[in-house]
Amino acid sequence: MAAQADNDRVLAGKVDKLQQTVASHLQRIAELEKENAELRRTVGAGHKEEAYRTHNSMAFKRKSNGKFSDQPYCPHCYKLMSVVEGFMINCRPCSHVVTLGNERLPEIAKWLDENPE
């Protein structure tokens, strides 16, 4: 009987130690997941900024051929902007507005292509 009680104490100690180790690992995993999410946001933001160039309060996206699209994007949220009445360009998600004739968009894209940063 005494041997069984000693065995139970030893096993209980091992179980307790394993539970502490598991708790420590779970805490570390949570910390690493948080750090990973922050790094992904940072890297994602950097890539997004590289794919766009801002001019006249609008962002223009670089196409796969290296040239810029004449479609304006919001420089804040990078969503496609809408042309209203031909002279006002706005971003619906964040309400950013630019007053500019939409006929100038192709010439802005051409200028961006011809004038690298």
How confident is the model over 87-111, as pLDDT tens digits?
888 998 888 999 888 888 999 999 9
Q: What is the mean pLDDT of residues 2-16?
A: 85
Type of residue at 94: C
List the domain boundaries for the chain. Answer: 51-114
pLDDT of residue 20: 92
Neighbours of 14 (CB within 10 A): 10
Does position 85 have pLDDT exceeding 90, yes or no? no
Neighbours of 105 (CB within 10 A): 20
For residue 80, list its beta bridge partners. 73
Encode pLDDT of 38-82 as tens digits: 776 666 555 555 688 998 899 999 888 889 999 999 999 899 999
Structure tokens given for 26: 């779970």
Q: How many residues does the chain have?
A: 117
pTM listed for this prediction: 0.56
